[in-house]
Amino acid sequence: CRIIIIQWLLAPVLFIGAFLYYEAYRCEFYSFDLKDIEYISSMYYNKDEVIRFSSSLGKFVGYTEFGVKNAKRWNNDSSILSNWRAQKEAYCKHNIDNYYQNTLTKSVQPSVTIKSVTPSGGHHPAMLVCSIYNFYPKHIKVSWLRNHEEVSSDVTSTVEMEDGDWYYQIHSHLEYTPRSGEKISCKVEHVSLKDPIITDWNPFWSTKKIVIGASGPVLGLIWFLAGFIYYKRNARGRILVPSS
All domains of the chain in start order, with CATH: 3-104 (3.10.320.10), 111-204 (2.60.40.10)
Q: Is the pLDDT of residue 21 over 90?
A: no
Q: Is the pLDDT of residue 212 over 50?
A: no
Q: CA-CA distances (angstroms) from residue 131 to 5, 60, 110, 122?
A: 30, 48, 10, 20
Question: Closest by alpha carbon to 126, among 181, 175, 173, 185?
Answer: 175
Q: Is the pLDDT of residue 7 over 60?
A: no
pLDDT in tens, 67-99: 999 999 999 999 999 999 998 888 888 787 777
Question: Closest by alpha carbon to 55, among 27, 93, 31?
Answer: 27
Q: What is the pLDDT of residue 88?
A: 87
Mean pLDDT for the chain?
81
Q: Is the pLDDT of residue 120 over 50?
A: yes
pLDDT in tens, 24-68: 888 887 766 667 788 999 999 888 999 999 999 999 999 999 999
> What's the mean pLDDT in 186-215?
76
Q: What is the pLDDT of residue 65?
A: 94
Is the torsion defined by CA of 73, 75, 77, 80 positive or negative?
A: positive
Q: What is the pLDDT of residue 205?
A: 62
Q: What is the pLDDT of residue 104?
A: 67
Question: Closest by alpha carbon to 196, among 134, 152, 128, 144?
Answer: 144
Stated pTM of the model: 0.51
